[in-house]
Amino acid sequence: MLPTPSTSHVSFNNVYEPAEDSFLLLDTLSSSTESNFLRTRFSNSHTGQNESTEHNLGAPLILEVGTGSGVVLAFATANAIAIFGRSDLLTLGTDINSFACQASTKTVQTAITEPLAHLGHGKFLDIVNADLTTPIRSGSVDVLIFNPPYVPTSELPDLTLHDTFNTISLETSSTTFEQDSHLLALSYAGGVDGMEITNRLLEQLRGILHPERGVAYILLCAQNKPNEVKERIKNWGQPWAVETVGYSGKKGGWERLQILRIWSACSIR
Amino acid sequence: MKILTLNFLTCARKACKATNAAFPLHPRDAELEIVETDLNPLFIRNILPRIEWDALREICVELGLPTLPDAAPEPAALFAEPIVPADTMQDADEGAEKQPTQLLQDLHRLLLETTIATGKLVCGNCGHEYAVKEGIANFLLPSHLV
Ligand SMILES: [Zn+2]
């Protein structure tokens, strides 16, 4: 078992606390089937020092959308060798909540300075405060990870209030209850079928992923109607493929979770 | 935020993303900070194929940093051959460590150690300014621009 990154510095008043869904992502990414898949896909045997540059596809970029506490991105960064078979990878995160951006930056930095991580960790770039993948350059992402706000809700948080809620007011020097509720709602509220945010991400996905190397891990709960989601992705056609690669939770319970792997099945070389 | 991060970012507006002018974003009023990190020569070499070199050159000019070469360096320019006695030549590839050149060290400093602490990132297409505060860039758009 690879160690779970520490999030003891994070205030869970306004940042999503690691839970069963987060841990399912950690377990899935580090499972033997997924690390075999990722190691094969991103094998760096071709990057030996003496090989010519034509075969050097460069360091892979890992993007986590909605990092929250940062536990998943920290795990992927700190265990780069164990999961991806290489340490020359770049990790980047986005979150709509500026407090989550600060918290996850610290979580990743702490995880990669742990004594045990020093040999096999990747290179952490930054967390940017953004809506899903909107500022990410097209076609640049090799691995995308998304633990979405998946809980079905009657409405989504009011984004017209987001600007004021996204910073600490100068008068109070701390966050208000109303503000914290808004920020936490962004981490779980998924609207109709719990799919409104995930659907927006799915719309962006093919533009953001590298057309040949791209792979995404997206978590769904039973109420998201995962089979319908998978059917829709199957209709994307070549080269896109989809498969469930991780499960957790009690059968029939509404929080039964699964992780989809969506990937380009192009031949890479 | 690291200079290397700019290699993966564009304007967040949908109308801009398809245009060439939205990349790279242009740093303005940037306060730079050096955050030292261990040099990993192979890492720098493997980042190079990912870099949009012309964009990186442009960013360096805008930040007033030393000018980069016109074209991305060949991997050979990153490592100096070690000095080995003639009779051990056949082992040179595996045995002796190649030494990082000044160019490689400069790239490490630029890409991984040079950070924007505060400032703005400006879209070359729509002119929208994204603020960077405490090293974190804010790409959230006011609702009328989404
Ligand atoms: Zn723009």
What is the pLDDT at residue A50? 42
Q: How confident is the model at residue A56 (pLDDT cuts 50, 70, 90)?
A: low
What is the pLDDT at residue A168? 86
What is the pLDDT at residue A117? 60
Instruction: Confirm if B37 and B113 have CB atoms less than 8 A apart.
Output: yes
Q: In this predicted structure, which of A31-40, A63-72, A250-259, B4-13 has the lowest mean pLDDT?
A: A250-259
Return the higher-pLDDT residue of B84 and A16: A16
Q: Which of A204, A196, A215, A183 is nearest to A150 (CA)?
A: A196
Instruction: Confirm if A205 and A262 have CB atoms less than 8 A apart.
Output: yes
- Cis upstream peptide for B24 (omega within 30°): yes
Q: Do A137 and B23 touch (CB under 8 A)?
A: yes
What is the pLDDT at residue A114? 79
For B127, residues 6+ apart whose C-beta sits below 8 A from its C-beta are none
B78, closest residue in chain A (CA to CA): A49
Domain ranges of chain B: 3-80+97-145
The count of structural domains within chain A is 1
Domain for residue A128, yes or no? no
Q: Do B1 and A126 touch (CB under 8 A)?
A: yes
A148-185, pLDDT tens digit by residue? 999 999 999 999 999 999 998 777 778 999 999 999 99
What is the pLDDT at residue B96? 58
Instruction: Confirm if A240 and A265 have CB atoms less than 8 A apart.
Output: yes
Average pLDDT over every residue of A16-33: 96
What is the pLDDT at residue A269? 46
Q: Which of B121, B114, B116, B125 is nearest to B68 (CA)?
A: B114
Q: Do A123 and B11 touch (CB under 8 A)?
A: no
B 76-105 residues inside an 8 A Cβ radius of A:
79, 93, 98
B118-144, pLDDT tens digit by residue? 999 999 999 999 999 999 999 999 877
Average pLDDT over every residue of A87-92: 95
Domain that holds residue A204: 137-152+190-269
Domain for residue A166, yes or no? no
**3 state SS of B74:** coil
**3 state SS of B105:** helix
Domain for residue A19, yes or no? no
Q: For an interface test with B, which of A52, A84, A129 has the most B Cβ atoms less than 10 Å from its Cβ? A: A129
Average pLDDT over every residue of B56-61: 97
| Residue pairs spanning A and B at CB distance below 8 A | 112
What is the pLDDT at residue A53? 41
Q: Which of B134, B130, B132, B133 is nearest to B122 (CA)?
A: B130
Percent of chain A with pLDDT over 90: 81
Percent of chain A with pLDDT over 70: 90
HSE-CB at A63 with a 13 A cutoff on CA atoms is: 28
Six-digit token pair at A165? 């809620």
Written in H, E and C, the secondary structure of chain A is CCCCCCCCCCCCCCCCCCCHHHHHHHHHHCCHHHHHHHHHHCCCHHHCCCCCHHHCCCCCEEEEECCCCCHHHHHHHHCHHHHHCCCCCEEEEEECCHHHHHHHHHHHHHHHHCHHHCCCCCEEEEEEECCCCCCECCCCECEEEECCCCECCCCCCCHHHHHHHCCCCCCCCCCCHHHHHHHHHHHHECCHHHCHHHHHHHHHHHHHECCCCCEEEEEEEHHHCHHHHHHHHHCCCCCEEEEEEEEECCCCCCCCEEEEEEEECCCCC
pLDDT of A54 over the 50 cut: no
Domain for residue A204, yes or no? yes
B75-126, pLDDT tens digit by residue? 889 998 776 665 555 544 554 567 899 999 999 999 999 999 999 999 999 9
| CATH number of the domain encompassing residue A269 | 3.40.50.150
B45: closest CA of chain A, how far (Å):
8
Q: Which of B109, B111, B107, B110 is nearest to B75 (CA)?
A: B107
* Burial (CB count within 10 angstroms: exposed 0-12, middle 13-18, buried 19+), residue A53: middle
Domain for residue A243, yes or no? yes
A48, closest residue in chain B (CA to CA): B42
pLDDT of A253 over the 60 cut: no
* b (16+ CB within 10 A) / e for B39-59: ebbbbbbbbbbbebeeebbeb
For A213, residues 6+ apart whose C-beta sits below 8 A from its C-beta are A41, A42, A57, A60, A142, A264, A268
A44 contacts on B by Cβ (under 8 Å): 46
Domain for residue A5, yes or no? no
Return the higher-pLDDT residue of A119 and A213: A213
* B144 in reach of chain A (CB within 8 A): no
What is the value of ipTM here, to two decimals?
A: 0.92
Domain for residue A212, yes or no? yes
Domain for residue A267, yes or no? yes
Can you tell me the distance from the alpha carbon of B136 to that of B60, in angstroms, rounded to the nearest whole number? Answer: 20
- Cis upstream peptide for B142 (omega within 30°): no
Class of domain B3-80+97-145: mainly beta
